[in-house]
Amino acid sequence: MENMDKRDLPFLTVGQLATLIESCEISPVEVTEAYLDRIRKINPLINAYITIADEQVLLDAKIAESEITNKRYLGPLHGIPFAVKDQFLTDGLTTTNGSQLLSDFVPNRNATVISKLKEAGGLLLGKLNMGGFAGGGIFNYPYGIPRNPWALDHTTGGSSSGSGGATSAYLCATSLGEDTGGSIRSPSSFCGLTGLRPSRGRVSRHGMFSAIWSMDTPGPITRNVEDCAITLQAIAGADPMDPHTEPIPVPDYRRHLTGEIKGMRIGIVKELLLDDYIDPQVKTSIVRATQTLEKLGAIVDEVSIPLMKNAMSYLIQIPHTVTEMSAIYDNFVRTRLGEYNHDVQVNLLLGKILPAQIYYKAQKLRGLLREQTKNILQEFDLLVAQTDSEPAPVLTSGHMPSSKNEVIDKILRPIFSTVGFALVGLPAISVPCGFADVKGTKLPIGLQIAGRPLAESTVLRAAFAYEQATEWHKASPPI
């Protein structure tokens, strides 16, 4: 590291750091110290971290350094500092699930994804800010409002807000979020990152607090597609502690990053590009991105999935949200309801009074949406749309919007295009594809690419091909 200032280390990708660490040109201790220094400087501005494990991570870094020096290199995450949404259990480290109700909860075990990252040699920097209980709590943050590194008065998006902010501001090399309706993809879109929601069953949920049991999915938020593949490689696979994981082999995801997509059939979901729902600058960027995919040799056509435009609605998504969340936290609802944020209280109480017939109808509509999507994916390899229908909105504080128009503008419209793929359980990635000018502020835009169930390799391959053909992922926030 003769010509490199230690302060520059946080700006390297996982892939770049891994090469330098394996060759012993830099040490895990140097990298960790550089990240901790930057966290102390930048985190007070963006509130990305709830808990920082500074003493333990330095001890772990020294162990990693010794292992690598003694030729016991474990792979590309060995000695790499990572951080995780505070939704995952961490042995000996506070896990709040974004709520004061759990401010003193210290688990005595790790979530499976944490164990896997540590087994791969990863170094846990700390726990990241999030919406309370990962559902609905995006207007009140008991641990400080997470701020977008691209514009501090704008949101980082979704409940994995700290994961988006920390990764974008170079406060960790890679991170984990959790995506129920879009909370990996939205922060990635709003913060100029790459974020993958894996297929349901590809990654274990054991040791993760749930929000909507039938939709919750852990996944990586990173600075490029290669880092996303590296992180997914570590956490994917069957887990005997989670019977809903798929007992099938995990591909070598990096080997699929060939940049070759010639002949791949890609469908543009026309229902997600409706002018009434999408910002014109976002639509322009998505159209331009699909043209790039076409130039790379993909066969791109418009497709129709009629129910996609209704996925984020009172007909389908919201009955799942309120019913399942109130059932999961039934004991808290009965005994500690007043300690929840107001917006979460609204969802929990609505879940208690929603008629069973409404939830049943939502399930039927979800099944129909799944069938419509499945039929299209018999002809097409991938589906594309915008990740979010507008750039990162200005931060909102206070109670949940109460009027219909406020709910549409502040809750439904921003994640209008992510929920459908989550309801169906498809793998879907967000990659940077442009910028919008919002009153003189430059804000990132994300392209969403979804694939068949368990076809993460195909999704990553297309995302990598697009990334390599463009420069958007190289941009850095001004912070």
List the catalytic residue out of 27, 99, 115, 159: 159
As given in the structure block, the two tokens for residue 206 are 């054991």
As given in the structure block, the two tokens for residue 400 are 């949940």
DSSP state letters, 225-239: HHHHHHHHHHHBS-B
Find the mean pLDDT for residues 87-92. 98
Q: What is the pLDDT of residues 437-460, one digit of tens each?
A: 999 999 999 999 999 999 999 999
Residue 103, CA distances (Å) to 31, 50, 96 in order: 29, 10, 5
Based on the residue annotation, tell me whether 85 is a catalytic residue of this protein: yes
Distance of CA 8 to the CA centre of its chain: 25
List the catalytic residue out of 115, 168, 183, 189: 183
pLDDT of the residue at 132? 86
Based on the residue annotation, tell me whether 183 is a catalytic residue of this protein: yes
Statement: residue 411 has pLDDT above 60? no
- The three-class DSSP label of residue 382 is strand
As given in the structure block, the two tokens for residue 231 are 């992180």
* Residues in Cβ contact with 133 at an 8 Å cutoff, skipping those fewer than 6 apart: 97, 98, 99, 209, 211, 325, 329, 340, 344
As given in the structure block, the two tokens for residue 413 are 């419209």
- pTM over 0.75? The answer is yes
Cα dihedral 253, 195, 78, 201 sign: negative
Of 79, 94, 173, nearest in space to 127 by CA: 94
Residue 183, CA distances (Å) to 140, 245, 416 in order: 16, 20, 12
* Main-chain dihedrals φ then ψ at residue 263, nearest 5 degrees: 85, -10
Q: How far apart are CA 49 and CA 82, in angstroms?
A: 12
* Residues in Cβ contact with 243 at an 8 Å cutoff, skipping those fewer than 6 apart: none
Maximum CA extent, the chain: 67
Q: What is the pLDDT of residues 1-48, one digit of tens each?
A: 557 789 999 999 999 999 999 999 999 999 999 999 999 999 999 999
Q: What is the pLDDT of residues 153-197, one digit of tens each?
A: 999 987 899 999 999 999 999 999 999 999 999 999 999 999 999
Provide the pairing of β-strand 174-179 with 217-222: antiparallel
Q: How far apart are CA 354 and CA 321, in angstroms?
A: 11
Q: How far apart are CA 341 and CA 399, in angstroms?
A: 8
Band (pLDDT 50/70/90 cuts) for residue 229 is very high
Based on the residue annotation, tell me whether 127 is a catalytic residue of this protein: no
Provide the pairing of β-strand 194-197 with 123-128: unpaired
List the catalytic residue out of 27, 85, 116, 161: 85
Q: How far apart are CA 303 and CA 296, in angstroms?
A: 20
The domains located in the chain, with CATH, are 6-474 (3.90.1300.10)
